[in-house]
Amino acid sequence: MPWTDEDRRELTELCRIHDRMMAEHAASQRASYVRRNNADDELVLKVMEDATPPAAEPEPFNEAQSDVLAHIIAIQQDRECNDREKAIAPLKIEIAELRGQVSALLTLLGQKEFKSAEVIDLPDWRKRDVA
């Protein structure tokens, strides 16, 4: 299914909101990690409450959801294939008819025997008095 302009505008707006939320989150994280010492304004202390590395992100879909998604994609591709076949069907019929006509013409030409020395003259189509 192709994307419409409205879909693109909505996605752009959602991306803009996401970027703003990520920037706000990063700013709040920096604020919680950095504390300034009142006695000396140039000294910056970083406090890390949890020094363990972040856990790996979970998979976006579990196995059952992935199977359902693959099934839906296969159904959609099958529908597109059927639509193509429906569009091509009249063309296949026309091609079959043309092949039959060519075959009939070749049969008619094959019935007439030409002698090897026989010259077939074409009609005189050139103008003689060209000025």
Give the H or E element holding residue 35.
Answer: strand 34-36
pTM (two decimals): 0.31
Looking at residue 17, what is its pLDDT?
Answer: 92
pLDDT bucket at 113, cuts 50 / 70 / 90: low
pLDDT digits (tens, 9 = 90+) for 59-111: 777 888 888 888 888 888 888 888 888 889 999 999 999 999 988 888 887 76
DSSP reduced 3-state for 114? coil
d(CA 57, CA 50): 18
Q: Parse the chain into domains and list their residue ranges.
A: 1-49, 62-111
- DSSP H helices, the chain, are 5-33, 63-111
pLDDT bucket at 121, cuts 50 / 70 / 90: low
User: Percent of the chain beyond pLDDT 70?
Assistant: 67
Q: Report which residue type is found at 89.
A: A
